[in-house]
């Protein structure tokens, strides 16, 4: 079932991000220096988030990119917008590398908890490249309620009645305890025989 779903991901429509044109004017081309600044900011953001976490100060990212804090906020009004754009940019760059090497990756797919790109290598193995942001067991339920029910992303909720019966129930961790492995008898000197001992 999962395999069929993943194969269908090639056909999913993807809403691509577009710059919003200024009111009453045609969409303007981004100046080459502004585009270079944006690329440096996005690369610096990925490095900073991986090193310091999602709450890294915007000033730290601006300094690493070699741009002023005002330039940073002109492109990305919030830290969340910057981190999201940085992860998306990384996925797009990986797509370009895969295409350049002869691969056929999907578009960036919104998986609700994170975004992913899928591709198959020549022997047919399916790979998934996914953003770090938003992933995790506690993304949509509290830690003290983890595992109590099946949580599905919104786009699969309508298929709950089809999905749940196919899943193997997990044991209740509050009552289940692994049984101790039976003790293995160790051979003793009195019971061990050697070749030729009965001759």
Give a yes or no: residue 192 inside a domain.
no
Give a yes or no: residue 141 inside a domain.
yes
3-state secondary structure the chain: CHHHHHHHHHHCCCCCCCCCCCCCCCCCCCCHHHHHHHHHHHHHHHHHHHHHCCCCCHHHHHHHHCCCHHHHHHHCCCHHHHHHHHHHHHHHHHHHHHHHCCCCCCCCEECCCCEEEEEECCCCCEEEEECCCCCCCCCCCCHHHCCCCCCCCHHHHCCHHHHHHHCCCCCCCCCCCCCCCCCCCCCCCCCCCCCCCCC
Give a yes or no: residue 67 inside a domain.
yes
Give a yes or no: residue 2 inside a domain.
no
d(CA 60, CA 56): 7
For position 61, what pLDDT does the model report?
93
Phi, psi (degrees; rounded to nearest 5) at 116: -140, 155
Give a yes or no: residue 146 inside a domain.
yes
Portion of the chain with pLDDT greater than 70, in percent: 67
For position 178, what pLDDT does the model report?
61
pLDDT at 7 over 60: no
Give a yes or no: residue 135 inside a domain.
yes
Distances 82 to 88, 118, 149, 186 between C-alpha atoms, Å: 10, 24, 33, 62
Q: Are 48 and 14 in contact (CB under 8 A)?
A: no
Q: In this predicted model, what pLDDT tens digit does every residue of 145-163 receive, in sequence order?
A: 877 788 888 888 999 999 9
Q: In this predicted model, what pLDDT tens digit does every residue of 165-195 receive, in sequence order?
A: 998 877 776 676 666 666 666 665 555 544 4
Give a yes or no: residue 181 inside a domain.
no
Count of structural domains within the chain: 1
Full domain range(s) for residue 105? 31-166
For position 71, what pLDDT does the model report?
86
Give a yes or no: residue 198 inside a domain.
no
Q: Which residue has the higher pLDDT, 87 or 96?
A: 96
Please report, for the domain that includes residue 132, its CATH number. 1.10.10.60
For position 20, what pLDDT does the model report?
35
For position 94, what pLDDT does the model report?
93
Q: Are 52 and 28 in contact (CB under 8 A)?
A: no
pLDDT at 96 over 90: yes
For position 180, what pLDDT does the model report?
62
Closest CA to 89 of 69, 55, 115, 113: 115
pLDDT at 116 over 50: yes
For position 4, what pLDDT does the model report?
37
For position 165, what pLDDT does the model report?
92
């Amino acid at each position: 079932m999962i395999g069929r779903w993943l194969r269908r991901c090639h056909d999913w429509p993807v809403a691509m991000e577009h710059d919003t044109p200024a009111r009453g004017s045609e969409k303007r081309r981004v100046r080459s220096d502004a585009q270079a600044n944006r690329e440096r900011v996005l690369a610096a953001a990925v490095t900073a988030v991986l090193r310091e976490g999602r709450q890294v100060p915007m000033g730290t990212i601006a300094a690493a990119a070699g741009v002023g804090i005002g330039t940073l906020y002109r492109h990305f009004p919030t830290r969340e917008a910057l981190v999201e754009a940085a992860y998306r940019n990384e996925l797009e760059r990986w797509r370009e590398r895969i295409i350049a090497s002869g691969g056929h990756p999907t578009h960036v797919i919104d998986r609700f908890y994170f975004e992913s790109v899928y591709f198959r290598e020549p022997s047919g193995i399916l790979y998934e490249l996914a953003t770090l942001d938003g992933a995790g067991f506690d993304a949509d339920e509290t830690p003290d309620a983890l595992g109590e029910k099946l949580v599905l992303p919104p786009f699969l909720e309508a298929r709950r009645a089809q999905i749940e019966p196919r899943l193997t129930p997990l044991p209740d961790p509050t009552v289940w305890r692994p049984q101790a492995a039976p003790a293995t008898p160790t051979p003793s000197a009195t019971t061990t025989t050697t070749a030729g001992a009965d001759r």
